[in-house]
Amino acid sequence: MAWVFDQYKVIICAGTGGVGKTTLSACLGILAARAGKRTLVLTIDPAKRLADALGIDATSESEIAVALENTKGSLSAAMINPASIFDRFIHRSAKKPELAQRILNNSLYRQMSTTLSGSQEFTSLERLQTALDSGQFDLIILDTPPSQHAVDFLYAPQKIYSLFQNAITQWFVQKPGSGGFLQGLFQRGTKTALAALEKVTGSHFIRELSDFFEGVAEIQDEVSGRSIAVHRLLTGPDTAFILITGFDRAKLGATRDFINELRKGGYALNSVIVNRCFPTWNPSVEVSQE
């Protein structure tokens, strides 16, 4: 697979949970380092034995150099911590430290940064983009977050982008100088809806909700811009997908669905690896080598 390492700067190892993505990501990293590439493997949830073998500390996000013998390149590995990556992203996007702290202290944000659908995938891509921007590596291999729906990974940037769009934030924020009959009607409708919601959820939740989206409104341009950049990275010429699957009907079916989504979205599919599968060879058939 040396030609793959020469052609691309980013390899996304994707697939459903339990197919060996993390192990194969590490193996690809070793191969790339032996091919002379300065390689980084990013993973979110390695098995303990693999983490120990790579020298990754589950409590640290630092890039750890992996000792390899007889390699022309180098191999580093790092854990992805979604919550802390999201926090740094907010700090970088907010123009004022007090705005960043206001968002970070919000209970809805703290919940969203770890449990919102797409948050793990988005922060993995954010970490990938940051590592790529550093210029320290020739190749970055991303082990995608564990998921039963691998295709969710493709739509993570769009989910975050949609959350921070004006169509949502304007429900909770009144811009200075705005007015007019329609604007007033809209604001009154919003207040009525929030008042009804407050009876069910309590005033504290409504205050947190409103405060969250008021803060989001001030950073939505930066967040939207980053989401678009991450999506361009996924569909760009420097990125390839390697799908990893297992040899059973459900996993193969999910892989077929993922391949169709990749084709529809214009993503570059490089290879499909069927893990834990041994081919049946017919010794009577001569295998020709080109």
- Given this model, what pLDDT does residue 169 score? 54
208-226: per-residue pLDDT in tens? 777 887 887 888 888 888 8
Q: What are 232-275's pLDDT values in tens digits?
A: 999 999 999 999 998 888 888 888 999 999 999 899 999 999 98
Q: Please give the pLDDT value at position 277.
A: 81
Alpha-carbon distance of 216 to 196, in angstroms, equals 23
Q: Of the candidates 77, 215, 56, 81, which has an alpha carbon nearest to the alpha carbon of residue 141?
A: 77
Cα distances (Å, whole numbers) of residue 75 to 12, 26, 36, 214: 16, 9, 10, 43
Given a contact cutoff of 8 angstroms between Cβ atoms, the answer to whether 12 and 238 are in contact is: no
- Residue 289's pLDDT is what? 46
Q: How many residues does the chain have?
A: 290
Give the architecture (CATH level 2) of 2-275: 3-Layer(aba) Sandwich (3.40)
For residue 80, name the pLDDT band (cuts at 50, 70, 90).
confident
For the question of whether the overall pTM of this predicted structure is more than 0.75, the answer is: yes
Q: Could you report the per-residue pLDDT of 170-195, keeping only the tens digit for each?
A: 555 555 444 443 344 345 445 555 55
pLDDT tops 80 at residue 75: yes
Residues 17 and 147: beta-carbon distance below 8 Å: yes
Domain coordinates in residue numbering, the chain: 2-275
Using one digit for the tens of pLDDT, what is the confidence trace for 116-140?
A: 767 788 888 899 999 999 999 999 9
